[in-house]
Chain A
Amino acid sequence: QVQLVESGGGVVQPGMSLRLSCAASGFSFSNYAIHWVRQAPGKGLEWVAVISYDGSNKYYADSVKGRFTISRDNSKNTLYLQMNSLRPEDTAVYYCAREWQQRHYFDHWGQGTLVTVSS
């Protein structure tokens, strides 16, 4: 069955960096665009970034543009999110989510990994 498992979250100080991973299994990873979506504690969902199936296209939310980089390694069935210059407002659970057939909705989500930015 389709599985997405995030890892790499933790507590970091403002200004520091962190890299999240999302390990995929149960489907042909290289055929799907994958997104990062985050949710601050007690808040709503916020779309973060997307990468196309082959990594050639990447788009970001204005709130993370220039600080976060999305990438993927199709040989390892893994998605990444490199987060630099972290701010307290980046504190959230970060989910990876599969986009179904370029139809701009998420049919599978991971369980999320918590990132806390605090001094």
Chain B
Amino acid sequence: QSALTQPASVSGSPGQSITISCTGTSSDVGGYNYVSWYQQYPGKAPKFMIYEVSNRPSGVSNRFSGSKSGNTASLTISGLQAEDEADYFCSSYTSNNTLVFGGGTKLTVL
């Protein structure tokens, strides 16, 4: 049950686009379309932003999008805004009927 691999930090200027990667194995990310993404502000509970790789729940801005290629999933945020500054975590279902998270990525809006 090794954690999925995410970059520790990414940054971008307002209006720009950034992409956060999430790399696993064929037993998790690559084997299932059950990758989800969560946004977390300091001291707050996580909030789900993307489910099943690329689906966006109602209420989440269409500036957030998800994709997957092989064992790597990605979250893209376009038109960066100051309010997007937060920690982002990916999660995947695994072949052991468990879930695994990525280590998290701190997004800084410059």
Which of chain B's residues 62-110 have a Cβ closer than 8 Å to chain A?
87, 89, 91, 93, 96-104
Q: Which residues of A contact B97 (CB under 8 A)?
A: 57, 59
Given contacts A47-B91, A100-B51, contact A106 B46 (CB under 8 A): yes
Q: Which residues of B contact A72 (CB under 8 A)?
A: none
Q: Which of B45, B52, B103 contacts A95 (CB 8 A)?
A: B45
A: residues with CB less than 8 A from B are 35, 37, 43-47, 50, 57, 59-63, 95, 100, 103-107, 109-112
| A44 close to B45 (CB less than 8 A) | no
| B96 close to A59 (CB less than 8 A) | yes
Q: Judge whether B3 is part of the interface by a CB distance below 8 angstroms.
A: yes
Q: Which residue of B lies closest to A35 (CB)?
A: B99
| B57 close to A103 (CB less than 8 A) | no
Cα A44 to Cα B51 in complex, Å, equals: 19
| A47 close to B57 (CB less than 8 A) | no
Given contacts A62-B1, A103-B52, A110-B45, contact A45 B98 (CB under 8 A): no
Given contacts A100-B51, A104-B36, A105-B34, contact A47 B45 (CB under 8 A): no
Smallest CB–CB gap between B44 and chain A, Å?
8
Cα A103 to Cα B46 in complex, Å, equals: 17
Q: Which residues of A contact B91 (CB under 8 A)?
A: 45, 47, 105-106
Cα A45 to Cα B40 in complex, Å, equals: 10
Given contacts A44-B104, A62-B1, contact A107 B57 (CB under 8 A): yes
Cα A95 to Cα B57 in complex, Å, equals: 21
